[in-house]
């Protein structure tokens, strides 16, 4: 574990040291959760328009995946592991580029990563291949938002990987629940049901 933590710190320092004013502004923007509200609104509106009644379990289970990802990461795991964010770590004092604030004291797991990957993986699992480009965009979005947390100095790469795994597992569980609901309540199905 000590070797893994040392490697995580070294990787963090390497990634976090790559800075310039242009990317500082971009990463602050990307990391701001309120910036993405219009995107979420458009996504919900399209899902409702495209899938009608089927959008009810789809959106409900997406919200469950995201809500659980946030609650488990921030409400349970951060206080349980009590791993200091890099911007609070005494050993790294003077080595961390803190672009804009530091956030709460503990960082493992990243809720940005857990919620972002919960959303991206859930839709990757339930949408058909006709949405291939959109599914790629969602994954890239989740990766960029997650990386921004390392860039800004508030999370180690390990925090991001842990959060991404947590969100992905919850997304998988909720996608199974979604298919279970459609199987037992076929009246909810839209005409062109996604198949894998």
For residue 1, pLDDT over 80 is answered with no
Q: How far is CA 131 from the centre of its chain?
A: 20
pLDDT at 195: 39
Tokens of 20: 């310039």
User: φ, ψ for residue 106 (rounded to 5)?
Assistant: -105, 150
| C-beta neighbour count of 181 within 10 angstroms | 16
Q: Please give the average per-residue pLDDT across 158-175, as a whole number.
A: 98
Give rounded-to-5 percent helix, strand, coil for the chain: 75, 0, 20
Q: Please give the average per-residue pLDDT across 117-121, as a whole number.
A: 98
b/e sequence 103-133, b meaning 16+ C-beta within 10 Å: beebbbbbbbbbbbbbbbbbbbbbbeeebee
Contact yes or no for 135/123 (Cβ under 8 A): yes
Contact yes or no for 143/160 (Cβ under 8 A): no
Contact yes or no for 14/94 (Cβ under 8 A): no
| C-beta neighbour count of 142 within 10 angstroms | 25
pLDDT at 94: 86
Q: Please give the average per-residue pLDDT across 75-80, as a whole number.
A: 96
Answering whether pTM is above 0.85, one says: yes
All domains in the chain, ordered by first residue:
2-186 (1.20.144)
| C-beta neighbour count of 151 within 10 angstroms | 24
For residue 127, pLDDT over 90 is answered with yes
pLDDT at 190: 66
Return d(Cα 56, Cα 188) in angstroms, integer. 8
pLDDT digits (tens, 9 = 90+) for 15-43: 999 888 999 999 999 999 999 999 999 99
For residue 194, pLDDT over 80 is answered with no
pLDDT at 174: 98
């Amino acid at each position: 574990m000590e070797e893994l933590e040392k490697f995580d710190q070294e990787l963090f320092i390497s990634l976090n040291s790559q800075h310039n004013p242009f990317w500082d502004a971009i990463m602050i923007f990307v990391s701001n959760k309120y910036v993405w509200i219009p995107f979420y609104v458009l996504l919900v509106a399209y899902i409702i328009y495209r899938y009608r009644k089927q959008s009810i379990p789809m959106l409900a289970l997406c919200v469950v995946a995201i809500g659980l990802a946030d609650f488990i990461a921030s409400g349970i795991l951060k206080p349980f592991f009590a791993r200091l964010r890099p911007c609070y770590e005494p050993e790294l004092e003077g080595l961390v580029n803190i672009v804009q604030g530091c956030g709460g004291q503990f960082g493992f797991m990243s809720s940005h990563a857990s919620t972002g990957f919960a959303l991206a993986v859930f839709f990757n699992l339930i949408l058909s291949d006709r949405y291939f480009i959109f599914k790629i965009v969602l994954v890239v979005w989740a990766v960029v938002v997650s990386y921004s947390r390392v860039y800004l100095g508030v999370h180690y790469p390990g925090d991001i990987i842990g959060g991404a795994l947590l969100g992905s597992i919850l997304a998988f569980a909720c996608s199974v629940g979604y298919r279970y609901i459609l199987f037992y309540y076929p009246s909810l199905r839209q005409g062109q049901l996604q198949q894998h």
